[in-house]
Structure 1
């Protein structure tokens, strides 16, 4: 199908979905006549349909029925959310067109534009967790600036992972999976009461598979998987007013790397850098396989104390991440056995401690509700990154090392209140004040005796410098919502978001390494409607938004030098999002979403380049997904079929908008067929993902000087069988 045909199909199917199946994909776990799902998008428990924010939520049953294992699976089904990746563990979120490219988020002094919270704990670095072992109750995706209640770096939005709390029920769950590429997976979760007021839950998961790509040089499969995760939670409820939860989780990943496939820029008409390249995109020619090793540890203590005037919550957390990588990102045989090689390697050791105190109150017979609190975050990040350049001639070869050590501290106070002006009309006012400081030491030096030295050092002899900077930010929120009927909520909001400033880290010069870039800010304006119809068998949620960004942090790859980060841009983003679900009769459901996004730079000019008017990276104009689910009894058994299709318009990976860095339009088709026993005691399921075997790049790096396009790809067609038991 041509791009034009796909776009027309996207618009037609989305329009049809909006016309015939109003309801949100966020409430798919609920009964047909209820549709309720409880979320904590405003740091308090509320029905999804009562939250005046654009939120998509996935309950535990939906996560299972849709075979959702990764954040990429979530992005496929969420309007406004895109996920790219330069390697198997470092994902880059983009929400409504705003996200941090690798040049910013993957140095020691940078931060993301869309953040992740796990059971309320800010996960600043290290990637996202494995969903299998978390025993998730739900996943929430909040779109638009969330600077008031969630703070820094939620300028584009955020993703929350919320696990089940331990209870006094005794339960046990086990599943095992086998699939193509020798996919093997097992997970087990359990919950039990130790005493009348102490409850324990725990989970363990392991998954492994062969690689999706083949390295012709080494003869090995690469981009494989070997991941083990585990968690434990202990809950103590000594009185009716005190609830204490201690949580710990750990994930360990150790696998081969993800060498880039090299494509020759056809506009170059051949040349030395095109010789010997295998045209198969699932074949690479790297001199080594590389490696990815990652360990994530999170420990937290949550205390909830019910007082006569409200609820006091304390959340204390320690998070540690260790990450090692070796990535042969530029490998090309020329007149074998000679090779051209560029390799990135390094390790990162990150630790963060956070403390949050919140007080939620309810006064005047419910007419005044709100919360106030204080937040503290201390983060230490030590990163050593190196680059090896190996050309056939010694003059072009060498190794550069770039140690970075950054200490960051963030302190904030915040509050938000909802006041019922008249019955059914509520005004929301909130604000957050943040004070932040970063300091670091940055170095770059030559590490071998070869005459050549790779970018970004070039001919620079080396440097060892320090830098520090403090910032502050005020991020208010104003909203007005009208509960027109029990099933119709109309709202309008204005909110400000803030993303931390930082340091270049990997720089070509001493001044570049020690000079900070400033925070970026955004004002988000949104109007929306959340509606239920026909005894809540139909649901339609619609949001229209505009976001104005200033001091936008942008990164630019300078050929044969480095990635330069600066506050060089302003952007205006506007769009419409629709989420819908229809349950015309028991056992049958159709759901879907559609997003239209117009994201352009209103100002972006740096010496020698002018990108004003260009599209913001990773901002597809059109995106939609549609899914169908049918469940029917077969005697004492139950069968369920789920099919999901999504289509995403083309976009660009970089602000230059050159065709070599196009993110082409792509589609995805997933399906799952399950058979379960009485009371769901057991289940056998057959599943497939990316059934059309779409070849989708997850990032593109273009080296114009060498006419090389370096591309990692999303997983190919995968399928398998899973058997599960529960007690």
Structure 2
């Protein structure tokens, strides 16, 4: 099979079956080759804060969900609200479906953060870049970038099947087939299904469904072809679907007195609970989400050695969610939300170089079309003399983004390298929305909020760049200093009569150190950084709806340390530490929870999702049994100090310090073809929240709970060469 050249371009050995294999430990830490800076280099040679995990690493450490990356990646924060997954790195993340951390699958930028569910299956590796990536990645990458690289076809036929059962009536199955179709064409197919028969957020109202139950299904096909000696192609087709009440929210803090003052409703006898993983919902919740992605990647090597790459992507996202909005036994509101998104992206780049200079230049285009409905149903005449529906929002949005970039690294000497890059981005947006109130039996809207239908057309542009210097020390370590810029696009507050919000910009200053110690048995990476933000974007609540506003200036100072080490012959230790000191500048904002206080000064308050201290720790022990089988036992822990979710710096806006511990035990047969994994996630049953509503809805603060303890078992059978 003549796919060797394609395998080489994927930066890792394609022949691996991408399953848990080789529990035996070498004397050196595995060198992981990455392409996060759009060129091939090892993690320790990359002048940037980056963490990379191979597919084997993910399986060995039991990382099967996006949220579990916090156990292996410094500064990584995962959140969830209304079923939408959000990522924050170094305190910078997503809200209002505009990510602050860019996510890509095989180079295709994901338009919606929640679509990353598909990326968690059958991976070759994951790369997490920390810090602004405005030069090589462009818009909405202020916090960093997460790149999922899927497993590619193998030279020989390989397949595997994995089945699992776990608490809360979880039953899962995953299958992979990989191999050649001809001498020049290979295929890899992966599919998975998870049935969650019992919800882990209990609805205490009799007769109504629990939350976090339902089904998840994923499918992906990768087809690669060596079209000629200097041209290869990769076609990928993926589908993801989830259904069921997938929102892990509950009431985090009760505010019954505040609820009474807002609604003027009698609330005596209303049932509300702050207990973790429990909620009173006088109504059923449901969701139905489908995501489809197709991509085509072409690699063409020119006669002069330069490489031309084309990445074409198409994405379709359909997201429906409905359920009670107040979290009480009254059932005051029922909300319905639906979002449709169609996104087309195209990147073309050309790269080349010699012993002294390496460079890349490219162009990027995106067309993103979205429509959204947000409806509140009123099952009782709470605010109006007759039942009906309160239609909050209908929105259509079309965004076109074009950019051009150039990046280079020049070797001044054998030990010194200089880097320089620049990107020019232009954004054009056409937005149309309406906020209207209807009642049953009345065809026309009773009230046109903000004048009914609003239409806005506007453009914005941004210039982002980077500069770096690298120095190889005499003992084989690398020291680097870098300056980088990023920006996050602005937008329209379609859900409230408020002005648009401006783009957010950041300038980052970072110094780092990377070294390989103990004859290759230990790697150490450290970085200190300072962020200066302008027009920092935050979410706030006006009335009962959320809007985006600009907080002015903000700063983040931080330090990161990452260590991976082989201790003795059978112990492996990995650890990460992040220290953050974040603060808003001069920023006045009105708190919906303290409306009588007027505008509050938030200067000096910590940024959202930016805990002062974050720790992740992984310890693995290998045992060779008399039968020839290998046993690997691992502990993974993640600690976060107090984390705030709003800018006002109030205790009720925060999650106290917490630690989550996962245990894994992998037993691999002597021939490596059968692997059994026992796991206990959240071993101590720690209760913590991963997201918090920006306002207060009726009876208390809505929050998304992290999953309680879950114990389970998985069995994987391999067929063919691994």
> TM-score, normalization: structure 2?
0.89
Cα distance in structure 2, aligned partners of 1:503 and 1:443 = 12
Identify which of 93, 99, 109 aligns with 1:99: 93
1:723 has 2:706 as partner? no
Once the two structures are overlaid, the 10-residue window that deviates more, 715-724 or 250-259, is 250-259
1:415 has 2:406 as partner? yes
- Alpha-carbon deviation of 1:350? 0.4
Structure 2 unaligned regions, length at least 5: 1-22, 261-265, 591-598
- Alpha-carbon deviation of 1:645? 1.6
User: Over residues 188-222 of structure 1, what are the superposed CA-to-partner deviations in whole Å (9 max), with x where a residue is unaligned?
Assistant: 01111111011111101001112111223234322
1:541 has 2:525 as partner? yes
Aligned to 2:17: none
Identify which of 271, 279, 296 aligns with 1:276: 271
Aligned 1:70-149 pairs, distance under 5 A:
70-88=65-83, 90-101=84-95, 104-105=96-97, 111-125=98-112, 127-130=114-117, 134-149=121-136
- Aligned residues of 1:479 and 1:494 also touching (Cα < 8 A): yes
- Aligned residues of 1:146 and 1:155 also touching (Cα < 8 A): yes
Aligned to 1:8: none
- Alpha-carbon deviation of 1:34? 4.7
User: Over residues 677-700 of structure 1, what are the superposed CA-to-partner deviations in whole Å (9 max), with x where a residue is unaligned?
Assistant: 123111011111001101111222
Identify which of 46, 53, 66 aligns with 2:41: 46
- Alpha-carbon deviation of 1:576? 0.3
- Alpha-carbon deviation of 1:240? 2.7
Cα distance in structure 2, aligned partners of 1:459 and 1:273 = 30
Cα distance in structure 2, aligned partners of 1:644 and 1:93 = 20
Aligned to 2:176: 189
Cα distance in structure 2, aligned partners of 1:199 and 1:707 = 57
**Counterpart secondary structure, 1:221:** coil
1:589 has 2:581 as partner? no
- Aligned residues of 1:429 and 1:479 also touching (Cα < 8 A): yes
383 and 270 in structure 1: CA distance in 2 versus 1, 3 angstrom threshold: closer
Cα distance in structure 2, aligned partners of 1:316 and 1:126 = 19
Aligned to 2:349: 358
Identify which of 527, 552, 556 aligns with 1:569: 552
**Counterpart secondary structure, 1:330:** coil
- Alpha-carbon deviation of 1:561? 4.0
119 and 141 in structure 1: CA distance in 2 versus 1, 3 angstrom threshold: same
**Counterpart secondary structure, 1:516:** coil
Cα distance in structure 2, aligned partners of 1:270 and 1:190 = 55
**Counterpart secondary structure, 2:372:** strand
1:322 has 2:330 as partner? no
User: Over residues 396-437 of structure 1, what are the superposed CA-to-partner deviations in whole Å (9 max), with x where a residue is unaligned?
Assistant: 864124110000001111011100001110000011111111
132 and 521 in structure 1: CA distance in 2 versus 1, 3 angstrom threshold: closer
- Aligned residues of 1:331 and 1:342 also touching (Cα < 8 A): no
- Aligned residues of 1:264 and 1:273 also touching (Cα < 8 A): no
504 and 394 in structure 1: CA distance in 2 versus 1, 3 angstrom threshold: closer
Aligned 1:567-716 pairs, distance under 5 A:
567-606=550-589, 608-634=599-625, 635-701=627-693, 706=698, 708-716=700-708
Cα distance in structure 2, aligned partners of 1:673 and 1:151 = 41
Once the two structures are overlaid, the 10-residue window that deviates more, 59-68 or 274-283, is 274-283
Cα distance in structure 2, aligned partners of 1:239 and 1:77 = 40
- Aligned residues of 1:416 and 1:429 also touching (Cα < 8 A): yes
User: Over residues 460-483 of structure 1, what are the superposed CA-to-partner deviations in whole Å (9 max), with x where a residue is unaligned?
Assistant: 486101001111111110000012
- Alpha-carbon deviation of 1:285? 1.6
1:311 has 2:307 as partner? yes
- Alpha-carbon deviation of 1:297? 0.6
273 and 37 in structure 1: CA distance in 2 versus 1, 3 angstrom threshold: farther
Cα distance in structure 1, aligned partners of 2:493 and 2:247 = 25
- Aligned residues of 2:685 and 2:709 also touching (Cα < 8 A): yes
523 and 666 in structure 1: CA distance in 2 versus 1, 3 angstrom threshold: same
485 and 138 in structure 1: CA distance in 2 versus 1, 3 angstrom threshold: farther
Aligned to 1:24: none
Identify which of 133, 137, 153 aligns with 1:150: 137
- Alpha-carbon deviation of 1:702? 6.6
- Aligned residues of 1:687 and 1:720 also touching (Cα < 8 A): yes
131 and 375 in structure 1: CA distance in 2 versus 1, 3 angstrom threshold: closer
Cα distance in structure 1, aligned partners of 2:155 and 2:294 = 22
Once the two structures are overlaid, the 10-residue window that deviates more, 460-469 or 433-442, is 460-469
Cα distance in structure 2, aligned partners of 1:194 and 1:361 = 32
1:242 has 2:231 as partner? yes
Aligned 1:445-594 pairs, distance under 5 A:
445-449=436-440, 460=449, 463-485=452-474, 487-507=476-496, 509=497, 512=498, 515-558=499-542, 560-594=543-577
- Aligned residues of 2:208 and 2:283 also touching (Cα < 8 A): no
**Counterpart secondary structure, 2:553:** strand
Identify which of 154, 161, 171 aligns with 2:148: 161
- Aligned residues of 1:126 and 1:321 also touching (Cα < 8 A): no
User: Over residues 450-500 of structure 1, what are the superposed CA-to-partner deviations in whole Å (9 max), with x where a residue is unaligned?
Assistant: 99xx9xx99948610100111111111000001214731110000000111
- Aligned residues of 2:281 and 2:331 also touching (Cα < 8 A): no
